């Protein structure tokens, strides 16, 4: 945790040029993480949404978009979701549906 505190202290005292460089590095790292999250899914995958409103719903990925996935099921229809809220469905997902 010490490293994180050091980074926070540095950011608090950084000038505009340093903050701009930090933002560039952060944005690049964040895009890489988002791409990795999206790459774990492909068209035809069966997924669940990690959210209390969709606790027992199972969806099929019908399209992988630039930033989101288009998912579908009979009850909810077609939705767009960011990959970070999706999980590949497991056998437990289907057991919950019964």
List residues bridging with 88 in a β-sheet: 47
pLDDT at 28: 96
| HEC profile of the chain | CHHHHHHHHHHHHCCHHHHHHHHHHHHHHHHHHHHHHHHCCCCCCEEEECCHHHCCCEEEEEEECCCCEEEEECCCEEEEECHHHEEECCHHHHHHHC
Give 15-36 pLDDT, tens digit per residue: 999 999 999 999 999 999 999 9
What's the pLDDT score for residue 96? 56
Return the pLDDT at 52. Answer: 80
Domain boundaries, the chain: 2-39, 46-97
pTM above 0.85, yes or no: no
User: Which pLDDT band, with edges at 50, 70 and 90, does 98 fall under?
Assistant: very low
Q: Which fold has domain 46-97?
A: SH3 type barrels. (2.30.30)
């Amino acid at each position: 945790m010490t490293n994180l505190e050091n980074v926070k202290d540095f950011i608090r005292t950084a000038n505009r040029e340093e903050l701009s460089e930090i933002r560039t590095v952060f944005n690049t790292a964040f895009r890489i993480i988002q791409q990795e999250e999206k790459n774990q899914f492909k068209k035809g995958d069966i997924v669940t949404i990690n959210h209390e409103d969709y606790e027992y719903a199972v969806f099929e990925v019908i399209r992988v978009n630039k930033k989101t996935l288009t998912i579908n099921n009979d009850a909810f229809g077609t939705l767009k979701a960011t990959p970070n809220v999706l999980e590949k469905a497991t056998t437990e997902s289907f057991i919950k549906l019964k």
